[in-house]
Chains A and B, each alone.
Chain A
Amino acid sequence: MSKLDSKIPEGPLAEKWSKYKASMKLVSPLNKKKLDIIVVGTGIAGAPAAATLAELGYNVKSFCFQDTARRAHSVAAQGGINAAKNYKSDGDSVYRLFYDMIKGGDFRAREANVYRIAEVSNAIIDQLTAQGVPFAREYGGTLANRTFGGVQVSRTFYAQGQTGQQVLLGGYSALKRQVSLGKVKMYSRRQMLDLVIIDGKARGIITRNLVTGEIERHSAHAVVLATGGYGTIYYLSTLAVNSNGSAAWQAYKKGAFFGNPSFVQIHPTSIPVLNDYQCKLTLMSESLRNDGRIWVPKEKGDKRDPNIIPEDERDYFLERRYPAFGNLVPRDVASRAAKERCDAGFGVGKTGLAVYLDFRDSVKKQGEKAIKGKYGNLFDLYEKITGESPYKTPMMIYPAGHYTMGGLWVDYNLMTTIPGLFAIGEANFSDHGANRLGASSLMQGAGDGYCILPYTITNYLADEIKTKLPSTDTPEFEEAAKTAKERLDKFLSINGKQTATSFHKRLGHIMWNYCGMSRNEEGLKKALQMIDDLQKEFWSDLKIPGKVEELNQELEKASRIADFLELAKLMALDALNRKESCGAHFREESQTEGGEAQRIDSEYSYVAAWEYQGDNKEPKLHKEELKFENVEVKVRSYK
């Protein structure tokens, strides 16, 4: 258990971070110039981290698989970014933001980390504003705020429905500035293939140049993974189709523990699956639930045009089940309620896997213009995809895989169990417990990148100032590069009949059906077997055209899917281990009479951190007990 030291500083919750910062080791400016840091990923955590570390004086190498840093998938976050500014004087505070996150996460997150992210949230808004991020404003020139699900204050800063894009571009511009100053070297179109460990410390990575296919070696004094989540394991998800879990997975296989892999947020308001060709689902922002009402017909299989179904034949099931929060219940609750109705046969649309999100009443009350002002771009987006106008016909929505609360286990320093390997943003498991509240992913990613990592990594590097930059010719690099190359060659040599995508689709089906919104022991065991079979088939019947030494998109896919096939098993295993329901993790065996999630605090109040033991060997479970000293652990109720 010694490896699982969360390193939470002593002292009262509100003082932990400031006292810890004050006592950290420093690196002099002259020495910073001699230290190299690799940052993989350029999203809302990675770009700020790379930029801020470069501002401090470190030499940064920044990697992304996209053609440019600005396309990282944080760009697609819609709704907003939270901060405890209390500009609305509605009683918000750092503590309240902290409490909302702990409760929203169903008491499965670490108090000290969550408090810290709430604490730094204000500085992020200041920084982003200074960078020129055009947040929405009031007529008086001050910043505007809006409300989000699961909370009772107005603390969300936003830039129309494109907050993620604007916040990301803020980080991207800071990164470009450091590129121009020569402090950051950009490596775009690179796929990370492996992590290199020398003498027990993370010292570099192996990448594939996606244009030439060349296997490259990069060394550094520390490695930061800001590689996002693995929601595309479901094949259909709200993520970008190229988002993947490979970097985190390579780190896991090199000894970093994986925390709560089965905690995946299923977002309630995605455009439903329309056909078989789809490879991704488009999200409709949670903010729509402020004015839209969710319903299904009261009669099973009612196929009438929704506009002619009279009021008393509609079941506004969220308002019925959760009168206090109504349509604004947290995401996990809303998703499950929709699934329950559809499973019971009340679903609408061609597939029966959809519910209505209806703006009829809001349009009547506020007028079409007001609704257009708030959601115009989202309505347009919906119409472009479905060909239907939400002003006239209710939207159809269904839950979809969205965000992974699980990720690499990190301590208070955001360092994994491998010394010198840090994980930030969605790639780590840290701040959202078993469910994430809206508008807090940008906050956490940016907080990790701008405010936290630059301190904690300095504390680590203070002991590395005498270490020379490792050569990339060491046996460790040789070995890692060789293994990576062999693996790629293997994909090509299988020469089977099935495409990479077809395997991904099948894996997605398995995961969605058995390890998605609701899970049970029988299903998970079945899933484990099915994944195993699929994996065998994959390695014997995969067809990849072309060569390694060229731009080869099929090869890129194959390598991600191979990792997903392994990760899928860990997810199922973790879901199987946690016999309670908590947050987004719903075990059918553990529910109240009313069908709500039933936590079992006496047995599962811990973070499940999994340690890799080798291929085909059961990973080892480590438990980090969660202590709640500042909040009362309660049943999470939104009724």
Chain B
Amino acid sequence: MKIKLNIWKQENPKAKGKFVKYELDGVAEEMSFLEMLDSLNEKLIKEHQEPVAFEHDCREGICGSCGLYINGRPHGPGDEIGTCQLHMRAFREGDSITIEPWRAKGFPVIKDLIVDRNAFDKIMAAGGFISIDMGQAADANAILVSKEAADKAFDAAACIGCGACVAACKNSSAMLFVAAKVSQFALLPQGKIEAKRRALNMIAKMDELGFGSCTNTGACEAECPKGISIDYIAMLNREYLCASFSETE
């Protein structure tokens, strides 16, 4: 099939970007969305044009590299998929597809469709860990964790850090990302010890980096490729409020 593409092009972080229109023929239904972009790039290079820069790696929905805003939705049409898992069978002959990078103050554009998600790393460094040095751990079965808690912690831990939650949110809030990590550890006995510090520090960092606040629209949950629920945001709020009210410093 033949499709029309309208893609954001921006040479570097400081440049002023613009939308560029392309037409691509010979798009097969079984192509993945990124394979479609690959073939566009192959064509552009052969025609001595600049290819479109976009981020991708594992191409099986787990590394979290790819993240494109396609026709108004992070990771495009379809639920609980990464951009790499979107296939062209979701589109029809003659469709126009607008592709934009994630837009958020916390995620500045580096080039074309690539954004800098370093802010997530910074939030993680602010407290997304359990302080245990190698060699200090007791036997794994010395810590009993109920299956329910372990499963719930896993569902939160499934976050791939792609940033679709921020991209989807009208406030560019990173609450679902932070909530997933805070909840994962808050649900496990291992993580309880530092739970207060963690919640306070990660939220402080999130605020500092220019992400908005959560107004509970649920857009993040609807677009999360791993289907992480906003229940975890309630849990984060709980953790944060308890930590704030009992903070001694």
Contact = CB atoms under 8 A, between A and B. Distances in A.
Asked if chains A and B come from one complex, the reply is yes
B195 to A, nearest CB: 11
B51 A240 contact: no
A130 B150 contact: no
Given A130-B143, A140-B144, A554-B51, A166 B134 contact: no
B144 A141 contact: yes
Interface in B10-52: 11-12, 28, 30-32, 35-36, 38-39, 42, 45-46, 48-51
A279 B42 contact: no
Interface stretch (A61-69, A147-155, A473-481): A61-69
B146 A137 contact: yes
A315 interface: no
A67 B65 contact: yes
Interface string A72-97: 01011000000001010000000000
Given A66-B57, A71-B64, A551-B53, A543 B45 contact: yes
B149 to A, nearest CB: 8
A499 B45 contact: yes
A633 interface: no
Given A127-B137, A132-B188, A545 B45 contact: yes
Contacts of A131: 129-130, 132, 190
Contacts of B141: 85, 87, 142-143
Nearest to A180: B125
Given A71-B63, A501-B38, A385 B130 contact: no
Nearest to B190: A132
Given A130-B130, A137-B145, A140-B144, A76 B12 contact: no
Contacts of A142: 141, 144
A165 B160 contact: yes
B59 interface: yes
B87 A384 contact: yes
A51 B36 CA distance: 39
Nearest to B139: A126
Contact of A76 (B58, B85, B130, B143): B58
Interface residues of B, number: 77
Interface stretch (A170-178, A333-341, A571-579): A170-178
A280 B59 contact: yes
Contacts of B58: 71, 73, 75-76, 240-241, 280
Interface in A299-321: none
B133 A55 contact: yes
A9 B55 CA distance: 46
B134 A241 contact: no
Interface stretch (A215-223, A270-278, A422-430, A562-570): A270-278
A68 B118 contact: yes
B154 A55 contact: no
Interface string A521-551: 0000000000000000000000101100011
Given A69-B121, A127-B137, A554-B45, A166 B35 contact: no
B145 A141 contact: yes
A629 B2 CA distance: 65
B158 interface: yes
Given A142-B141, A176-B121, A274 B30 contact: yes
A263 B64 CA distance: 30
A125 to B, nearest CB: 5
A193 interface: no
A174 B137 CA distance: 13
B146 A141 contact: yes
B85 A384 contact: yes
B231 to A, nearest CB: 16
A67 B137 CA distance: 31
B38 to A, nearest CB: 6
Contact of A73 (B57, B81, B121): B57
Interface in B121-155: 121, 124-141, 143-147, 150-151, 153-154
Nearest to A133: B157
A274 B58 CA distance: 18
Interface string A184-212: 00101000000000000000000000010
A174 B49 CA distance: 43
Contacts of A126: 137-140
A159 B154 contact: yes
A176 B147 contact: no
A415 interface: no
Contacts of A107: none
Interface string A616-638: 00000000000000000000000
Nearest to B154: A134
Given A169-B157, A177-B125, 17 more contacts: A67-B65, A70-B121, A129-B137, A131-B130, A134-B150, A134-B188, A176-B128, A188-B118, A242-B57, A275-B28, A277-B28, A279-B35, A384-B85, A451-B134, A543-B46, A545-B51, A550-B12
29 contacts: A71-B58, A75-B62, A126-B138, A130-B138, A131-B132, A131-B190, A134-B153, A136-B150, A137-B147, A138-B147, A141-B144, A143-B140, A162-B158, A165-B160, A166-B154, A169-B157, A172-B124, A174-B129, A174-B132, A177-B131, A179-B125, A188-B121, A381-B61, A381-B85, A450-B134, A499-B42, A543-B45, A545-B51, A551-B12
